[in-house]
Amino acid sequence: MFKVNDNYQKLPGSYLFSTIARKVSEYQAAHPDKTLIRLGIGDVTQPLAPAIIEALHSAVDEMGNAATFRGYAPDLGYEFLRNAIAENDYKARGCDIGADEIFVSDGAKSDSGNIQEIFSVDNRIAVCDPVYPVYVDSNVMAGRTGTYDPVSEVWSDVIYMPCTKENGFVPEFPKETPDMIYLCLPNNPTGTTLTKAQLQEWVDYANRVGAVIIYDGAYEAYISEDDVAHTIYECEGARTCAIELKSFSKNAGFTGVRLGYTVVPKELKCGDVSLHAMWARRHGTKFNGAPYIVQRAGEAVYSETGKAQLKQQIAYYMKNASAIRNGLTETGFEVFGGVNAPYIWLKTPGQMTSWEFFDYLLDAAHVVGTPGSGFGPSGEGYFRLTAFGTCENTLAALERIRQL
């Protein structure tokens, strides 16, 4: 008789955003007359920028012509895209990352779930709490965690680094030494971040204790403050301890197009073993590349026209973020984030739990948000709203919340 991967049986319920989607569709089916405003999952609403559409059209035409048709993409991704990334995301910021250290993929969610595969199952992981649930869930699936306690909402064998109002959402160095440290900055869900100096301390710590940092920079395009690093490689020593994951979903609206990349510097080693070589082996074996037309669209993100159009798109979402921040503060909520990220993190009113507030907001205001406890135990009593809605819906949602 075959056996299944028992680690999956340890996972409670479904993935956070699947649970929310199910609850919302059940509510909508029971109340077909209610118009819901969805500020839950961080999915974009603005159409792709014209420069990207143009690149997609022209790549589609190339695929219809025998002379320009392309089949499988090169293992690491097309050079035109890797060169554009190396030039714009790294060299322009004074960071020494070569195009051959960049692995193009179909998105940062897959990479953040898959990257753990090149590490031993014995490694201890440390995660910020609260944080994007994929890091813990994918490590549970791999068998790197113990069991889940539904009361405390804590996994055994996971080092939680609380990021709370009390510590200004800056994680403290854990008492037990981790092997793998996940940092998502600017942070999903709190919308807060670290200064470059604070990030440097994490790089120094990782190098000192021999840990690797898995750095998720999906929200980098939303950074507005000068003392915040745009990539971990701005920090001295990051080439020997950090892997960086980047997404095109939030900076360019590719949530439905799918494109991302991972940087594994050649100096990153475990003894003599190169992580770059391991990830290249994994990539070559299990992945056949992001589509050519999508990689051409990614290249357009770095064209001068593309950059200008996307700057406007980010400004549009950040205008929503300030509207939510200011609107909720005026209504009496305690809010965080929304300055360097498109997420606003609010304290639930009274003593409501995160899920109680989710149900209340859905039922009374027909607004969908994300319960903070879904991101980790320290998220209990908090709630996340996204700034990725349309401007009209964002203002309408605020008005509904004001009238509660």
Q: What are the residues binding ligand MLT (CB under 6 A)?
A: 41-43, 109, 132, 188
Q: How far is the CB of 1 from ligand MLT (least distance, A)?
A: 35
Q: How far is the CB of 357 from ligand MLT (least distance, A)?
A: 17
Q: How far is the CB of 218 from ligand MLT (least distance, A)?
A: 7
HSE (CB half, 13 Å, CA atoms) of 349? 11
Q: How far is the CB of 185 from ligand MLT (least distance, A)?
A: 14
Q: Which two tokens stand for residue 61?
A: 């035409």
Q: Which two tokens stand for residue 380?
A: 């209990």
CB nearer ligand MLT, residue 16 or residue 323:
16
Whether the CB-CB separation of 170 and 196 falls below 8 Å is answered with no
Q: Is 191 exposed, middle or buried (0-12, 13-18, 19+ CB in 10 A)?
A: buried
Report which DSSP code applies to 253.
Answer: -
272 alpha carbon, distance to own chain's centre: 31
Q: How far is the CB of 43 from ligand MLT (least distance, A)?
A: 6
User: Can you tell me the distance from the alpha carbon of 131 to that of 57, in angstroms, rounded to the nearest whole number?
Assistant: 37
CB nearer ligand MLT, residue 106 or residue 179:
106
Q: What crossing angle do the helices spanning 354-364 and 16-30 adopt, rounded to 10°? A: 30
Q: What crossing angle do the helices spanning 304-331 and 292-301 adopt, rounded to 10°? A: 70
User: Can you tell me the distance from the alpha carbon of 98 to that of 265, in angstroms, rounded to the nearest whole number?
Assistant: 8
CB nearer ligand MLT, residue 191 or residue 289:
191
CB nearer ligand MLT, residue 95 or residue 136:
136
Q: How far is the CB of 300 from ligand MLT (least distance, A)?
A: 22
Report which DSSP code applies to 373.
Answer: G
Label residues 303-342 b or e (16+ Cβ within 10 Å = b). beebeebbeebbeebbebbebbbebbeeeebebbbbbbbb
Q: How far is the CB of 41 from ligand MLT (least distance, A)?
A: 4
SS3 of residue 226 by DSSP: coil
Q: Which two tokens stand for residue 91?
A: 């060299």
CB nearer ligand MLT, residue 132 or residue 383:
132
CB nearer ligand MLT, residue 265 or residue 376:
376
Q: How far is the CB of 110 from ligand MLT (least distance, A)?
A: 10
According to DSSP, the residues that pair with 129 across neighbouring strands are: 162
Report the residue number whose CB is nearest to ligand MLT. Answer: 42
Q: Which two tokens stand for residue 124?
A: 């201890």
Q: How far is the CB of 260 from ligand MLT (least distance, A)?
A: 10
User: Can you tell me the distance from the alpha carbon of 180 to that of 112, in angstroms, rounded to the nearest whole number?
Assistant: 12
CB nearer ligand MLT, residue 17 or residue 287:
17
CB nearer ligand MLT, residue 131 or residue 238:
131
CB nearer ligand MLT, residue 41 or residue 361:
41
